[in-house]
Amino acid sequence: MSTERKSAPDVKNSSFLVDAAFEHGERTGNDGEIATLQCFLRTAFELLNGEQKRRFYSDGGVQESLKAARVVVPEALVRELGDAEPTRVGIRLEGGAIQSVFSTAPAQVDVINYSIDDAPPQGYETDTHLVGAFPRSDGGWNECVLVRYDADVMPAEFPKIDRAFANAREALVMRQEDGDAPAP
């Protein structure tokens, strides 16, 4: 076994996965490379949402490879993939502070808060709650509090939110009809 230490893989580039599959094939001496690549593809494809799958199938290289394999994917089916509902994100606030973040699918929510008064005390910063700078359109920077949340997947919350919005809109229309609220 080699004791040679390898450098960290470039996880932003898929070539290290291809290299890992090749090395697996070299070690196993059979179809390990193909099996590993198939595993990587299946796993990645399962993680794609409908719009990402649509873009994948629409890619010129993918289309050329499918054509060379004499596989036809109807364009109508590809278009339908992009029609999936977008991921919804809900944020519960109390007293102006975020209490929880939830979504219909796995999501990361980043908050940029320009109120430095909300900054964590020095020494209490974490890798998901810290003070930093955010670029302005004029090229300058604004000091801000940066907070990152991994949303809890709670799709059952959204029908409740939809009902609350519908009830609030209905009440608003009734107040507008009674003259108690300005018309939009």
**Quick one: DSSP state of residue 137?**
T
pLDDT at residue 2 above 60? no
Given 81, 104, 121, the domain boundary residue is: 81
Secondary structure percentages of the chain, helix, strand, coil, to 5 = 45, 20, 35
- The amino acid at residue 136 is R
pLDDT at residue 1 above 50? no
Task: Write the pLDDT tens digit of every residue in 82-92.
Answer: 666 778 999 99
Task: Write the pLDDT tens digit of every residue in 80-126.
Answer: 776 667 789 999 998 878 899 999 888 999 999 888 887 888 788 88
Quote the domain boundaries for residue 62: 15-81
In a domain, 118, yes or no: yes
Same domain membership, residue 118 and residue 93:
yes
Same domain membership, residue 73 and residue 62:
yes
Same domain membership, residue 19 and residue 77:
yes
The pTM assigned to this predicted structure is: 0.50
Region 52-60: mean pLDDT is 84
In a domain, 10, yes or no: no
Region 71-86: mean pLDDT is 76
In a domain, 1, yes or no: no
Rounded CA separation 46/44 (Å):
5
Contact criterion met (CB below 8 Å) for 81 and 62 = no
The whole-angstrom distance between residue 157's C-alpha and the CA centroid of its chain comes to 19
